[in-house]
Amino acid sequence: MYRDYLEPAWGLPQVLLLALLAVPLLGAAVVALLPAARDRQARLVATGFATVTFLLALAPAFGFRDQIFGWFDYGDGSTVPLFPWVEVDLEWVPALGLDLHLGVDGISYPLIVLTGLLTALCCAYTVKKVPDGGAGRALAALLLVLEFGVLGTFLALDLLLFFLFFEVVLLPMYAVIAGWGGPARRAAARKFVLYTLAGSVLLLLGILTVVTRSGTGDLVALTGAPLIGRDVQCAAFALLAVAFAIKAPLWPLHTWLPDAHTEAPTVGSVLLAGVMLKMGTYGLIRVGVGVAPLGAAWAAPVLGVLAVVAIIAGALICLRQTDLKRLIAYSSVGHMGFVLLGIATLSVTGLQAALLGNIAHGLITGLLFFLAGTIKDRTGTGSLNQLSGLRETAPRLAGLFGFAAIASLGLPGLAGFWGEAFAVIAAVQRGGPLWLTLAVVAAVGGALTAAYFLRLLRRLTHGLPTPEIRAMPSGITGVEWLAWAPLVLLTLAVGVVPALITGATLQPLTTLLGVDW
Amino acid sequence: MKSQAVDHLALLPLYAAAGTAVLALLVDLFLARRAAVVAVTLFGTAATAAGALIAGAGDGTFCTTGGCSWTPTWPAAVTAALFAALTAGVLGLSIPTLRLGAAPAGEFCFLLACSMTGGVTVAYAGDLLTLVVGLETLTLPLYILVGLRRYAPTDRPSIRPAEASLTFYLISVVSTAIALLGMALIYAATGAVHLNLLAPAPAPFTALGGVGASLLVIGLAFKVAAVPLHAWAPTTYDGAPIPIAAYLSTASKLGGVLALAAVVAHLDTGAVLSALAVLTMTVGNLAALRQTRMVRLLAWSSIAQAGYILAALALGAPGVPAALAYAVFFVILEFVAFSVVAALRPAKRVAREAVALAASVPADTDGGILDDYRGLAHQHRWVGAAMILALSGLAGLPPGLAGLFAKVTVVGTLVARGWTWLAVIVVVNAVIALAYYVRVAALLYTRPSTPGIPIINPALLHEITHPRFPVPRPVTVTLLIASAFAILLGFAPQLLFNAFS
């Protein structure tokens, strides 16, 4: 294979790539070791480390790419292999076939930047506001460990390494929910950790099935190359799909999500919705579809139907929901349904829609959880029955909330629109009665999304202010602006120029799908 | 008749281990100083480990046609060194108790060194008889160590240690008898005692050989506390002093695993072992969920962990490297967990609780109930961190990378050999197990519950009612070294895989 003739390059790009993982981990260690008397400084230090990580995450797009030689004509009709922009490949545990193989390409790059951004914003948010429960610096350190795990998952180009990073986030997230969460945090955290571990052991089984049958865990070698037979692909994809469906989450495996979100502290909810759910959808694209395309084709109708059920179920539940954070959590189920519908179509359009939907959901739902958390913190309640008339007392907050809700319901021109619209278009393009039906139902689900968000806005922002709303401080502090403004601006930017996300995805996606040019 | 040539270099670790035992006894006799006995024993364990690693792999000794009784291989050398290290660790954890005079130092060190000698023999054994002699030498001193406890005149003696000791003794004797019967049947059917000559018996003795192999495996399964032959373990662990419980759960279990590995590599016992594996991990984990006492919880979890090892062993020879690797990872993590228990339950704290409980309540055993550990990680940050490392490793999750690699090894081997159904049961059990591991880990970090009456300064009240007991220095050192090993193996598991491949 062509790649075998490449000298393993060692230069600035590789160092920066390793630094991208090393900095948050180092930061977590430093922050955790600072004494209790320096709690605030520790949180500032954490923000500094998170900011450096964010800058490192941006780096691959600015000239720190490896030289790409352009396309090669293989002449044997096989597809072009994956070309990560930057790549590091070190041997770690040869006995298990585990390599420290990391890389960035068009599929993972937007998610890496999103992770860097959201973690930095969350760390900055903790400087001002530490939820009750434990020390602020411990929370900040855990956020950095979470970032390390999520970034590693998006960077991993080795199946076992992917699994390892996938597991890294499990216990820190448990600790964040159980340590800093709401009144029912213990049960919610336990449900979260057991549910997601159940998913990740299936992932382990699926990955080991692939690795033992193909003899390699290298995603670059596995992607688009038929190393394993159809039957094994189907079995592996079934395992992987269930594993990622729990993480994403896909109906009917979503039941851990509302509890976890409702009980988690604001920063925990933001990271959980903003980036950790994406580990599921990203995994489904990169590992599920990439490694077992035939299995994916076999399971696509089931996945599509479940995705559409998720859209409808999420919307219907949201229409009846009276808890603010729970409502946003269930809206995630619907949004992830659109993402999964896009993936299920197994077309370039659909996968691009899924990637767009991923990023848009991360930005918008991150913002929504920030706002909902602030409202809940200030009024002491998350019940919509006790919250109304927000625009009377806190017009700025109400305006921001309105913006986020409208972005989330998919107004054209804002980030949420593209992913959902193109998921439906991809399903229509796929053709056939099944996919047409799915497209129609998904579109109806989109309308229901609008319905429940408008209902939410009517109840929350309009009407007469309740005593809780009257009593709440209305201003928005500097730190809050700092944490929210980037999300608002990016929601607009992605809405206007979706190519920001999809620009570099065409080549890796065609490789992934194994389609001819 | 030619006498056998003996390669004394290959026997170096055995000489060192047995020498340690004798030396401990002599030093106790002539110097009668506790510190000297402990120092000599620690030195002896270091010498044993060094001897094993220096002698390394080589030709066997005590050979007859076809087989050798003493087979120095790298897996044997590494496990022998591990036995020595565990012995040193257990001694380190015991120093505070020995200082209090709760056990006679000379006898304690002698018995521990004898047990180590047995472990070294098991590691190198090349025939069934050496194996069983090694196992018995490993176990015999433990009957006494479990119950060895001197009471001060003011103490209220408890029968728990004696109960534990007797349970362990009776079950062990029965299991040895079963194992010996199995060996006898195998010998009758095949005429072989050397491990490398073991093979399924030829007709017409096939059935006899099969029964022998099954009996042998069942006898050895007692040693690793496999369900349904496990009932002794929780009682014995709970009644024993914490360091000895640590030894039972690590070194003694490792001995059983080595013996099983030696046997199953040559005999077809997949059916028996896979049934034992499924039962062991499932029952172990489900029972652990319901435990309220720390040592019992660790005992049940250690039963469940043995199930994962048995699952790999069910594959026969191909599963042996995975099983041994898992056993080593597990033993180190389990030792860290027990060291944390020893660190958080110094004798002073236990004594104070006994006073607080008054004479009406039977004196609790050393490990205490789970609630005694509430919030202790806030007092001892590093000990708490070590417990997170150990528990996450036992659950197979980062940051306990060693445990993660252990799980991946076993599940990977099972999947690669087409035993996917067993792999599924293993991973389902891993999920069940996490439920109690996170419960314990979270408990260490839980803030104390506030009293029902209004208190001006709850923090002060908590400090008074929960005084901070310093961790004894030898325990700290032991815990540090054990954690360092666990972390090192987490990042460089290849070291271990190289030794076992």
Say yes or no to pLDDT of A477 above 90: no
Name the residue in chain A with its Cα closest to that of B409: A96
- pLDDT at residue number B36: 92
- The region of weakest confidence among A7-21, A311-325, A479-493 is A7-21
**Tokens 């039972």 sit on residue:** B248
- pLDDT at residue number B375: 81
Query: What mean pLDDT is predicted for residues B443-468?
Result: 73
- pLDDT at residue number A76: 44
Query: What mean pLDDT is predicted for residues A174-188?
Result: 87
> In Å, how far is A319's CA from the nearest CA of chain B?
34
Instruction: Report chain B's mean pLDDT, rounded to a whole number.
Output: 87
> What are B314-357's pLDDT values in tens digits?
998 889 999 999 999 999 999 999 999 999 887 666 666 655 55
Q: Select the residue of A134, A164, A198 nearest B398 (Cβ to Cβ).
A: A164
- Judged by CB atoms closer than 8 Å, whether chains meet at A204 and B411 is answered as yes
> In Å, how far is B497's CA from the nearest CA of chain A?
6
- B194: phi then psi, degrees, rounded to nearest 5: -75, 140
| Residue type (1 letter), A13 | P
Top residue of A33, A99, A208 to mutate, by most chain B CBs within 10 Å, is A208
Query: What mean pLDDT is predicted for residues B203-224?
Result: 89
Top residue of A93, A132, A246 to mutate, by most chain B CBs within 10 Å, is A93
- Using a CB-CB cut-off of 8 Å, the residues of chain A touching B416 are 208, 212
- Using a CB-CB cut-off of 8 Å, the residues of chain A touching B408 are 96, 160, 163, 204, 208
- pLDDT at residue number A73: 42
Full-model pTM: 0.91
- Judged by CB atoms closer than 8 Å, whether chains meet at A95 and B497 is answered as yes
- Judged by CB atoms closer than 8 Å, whether chains meet at B501 and A95 is answered as yes
- Judged by CB atoms closer than 8 Å, whether chains meet at B415 and A164 is answered as no
Q: How many other C-beta atoms can be found within 10 angstroms of the C-beta atom of residue B265?
A: 18
Helix (H) or strand (E) run with residue B30 in it: helix B12-30
A&B contacts, CB < 8 Å: 83
- Using a CB-CB cut-off of 8 Å, the residues of chain B touching A171 are 388, 392, 397-399, 438
- pLDDT at residue number B14: 93
Burial A234-273 (b: 16+ CB within 10 A, else e): bbbbbbbbbbbbbbbbbbebbebbbbbbbbbbbbbbbbbb
Say yes or no to pLDDT of A470 above 50: yes
Using alpha carbons, select from A154, A437, A131 the residue that is nearest to residue A286: A154
Say yes or no to pLDDT of B1 above 60: no
Sign of CA dihedral A462, A381, A446, A500: positive
- pLDDT at residue number B365: 61
Q: What angle do CA B496, B500, B501 make, to 5 degrees?
A: 115
Instruction: Report residue B452's pLDDT band, with 50, 70 and 90 as the boundaries.
Output: low
For the ranges A116-130, B115-129, B148-162, the one whose mean pLDDT is highest: B115-129
The first and second tokens of residue B205, run together, are 């003795």
The first and second tokens of residue B447, run together, are 């803030």
Top residue of B281, B387, B394, B408 to mutate, by most chain A CBs within 10 Å, is B408
Query: What mean pLDDT is predicted for residues A160-171?
Result: 92
Residues facing residue B127 across a β-bridge:
B194
Report the complex ipTM.
0.90
B221 vs A75, more confident: B221
Say yes or no to pLDDT of B158 above 90: no
For the ranges A132-141, A215-224, A271-280, the one whose mean pLDDT is highest: A271-280
Helix (H) or strand (E) run with residue A103 in it: strand A98-104
**Tokens 């592996």 sit on residue:** A236
Say yes or no to pLDDT of A434 above 70: yes
Percent of chain A with pLDDT over 90: 20
Q: Yes or no: say if B18 and B117 are a contact pair by the CB < 8 Å rule.
A: yes
- Judged by CB atoms closer than 8 Å, whether chains meet at A170 and B397 is answered as yes
Query: What value does the CA radius of gyration of chain B take, rounded to a whole number of Å?
Result: 22
d(CA B344, CA B366): 10
Top residue of B381, B401, B438 to mutate, by most chain A CBs within 10 Å, is B438
- Judged by CB atoms closer than 8 Å, whether chains meet at B445 and A211 is answered as no
Residue B29, burial from CB neighbour count under 10 angstroms (0-12, 13-18, 19+): exposed
Query: What mean pLDDT is predicted for residues A160-186?
Result: 89
- pLDDT at residue number A154: 93
Query: What mean pLDDT is predicted for residues A452-480?
Result: 82
- The region of weakest confidence among A292-296, B84-88, B150-154, B408-412 is B150-154
> What are B430-449's pLDDT values in tens digits?
999 999 999 999 888 887 66
Alpha helices in A181-323 (DSSP H): 185-214, 219-222, 230-247, 256-263, 266-271, 277-283, 290-291, 293-320
Say yes or no to pLDDT of B410 above 90: yes
- pLDDT at residue number A498: 82
- The region of weakest confidence among A474-483, B138-147, B278-287 is A474-483
Give first-to-last CA distance, chain A, whole Å.
20
Instruction: Report residue A67's pLDDT band, with 50, 70 and 90 as the boundaries.
Output: very low
- Using a CB-CB cut-off of 8 Å, the residues of chain A touching B431 are 194, 197-198, 201
- pLDDT at residue number A186: 87
Residues 369-398 of B with CB under 8 A from A: 388, 392, 397-398
Q: What angle do CA B298, B295, B97 make, to 5 degrees?
A: 130
Q: How many other C-beta atoms can be found within 10 angstroms of the C-beta atom of residue B238?
A: 23
- Judged by CB atoms closer than 8 Å, whether chains meet at B407 and A211 is answered as no
Query: What mean pLDDT is predicted for residues B370-390?
Result: 87
Say yes or no to pLDDT of A170 above 60: yes
- pLDDT at residue number A5: 45
Whether B64 contacts chain A with CB within 8 A: no
- pLDDT at residue number B362: 44
Top residue of B289, B328, B397 to mutate, by most chain A CBs within 10 Å, is B397
- Judged by CB atoms closer than 8 Å, whether chains meet at B431 and A178 is answered as no
> What are A340-355's pLDDT values in tens digits?
999 999 888 888 889 8
- Judged by CB atoms closer than 8 Å, whether chains meet at A95 and B398 is answered as no
Instruction: Report residue B2's pLDDT band, with 50, 70 and 90 as the boundaries.
Output: low
- Using a CB-CB cut-off of 8 Å, the residues of chain A touching B423 are 205, 208
- Judged by CB atoms closer than 8 Å, whether chains meet at B411 and A193 is answered as no
Whether B494 contacts chain A with CB within 8 A: yes
Q: Yes or no: say if A245 and A309 are a contact pair by the CB < 8 Å rule.
A: no
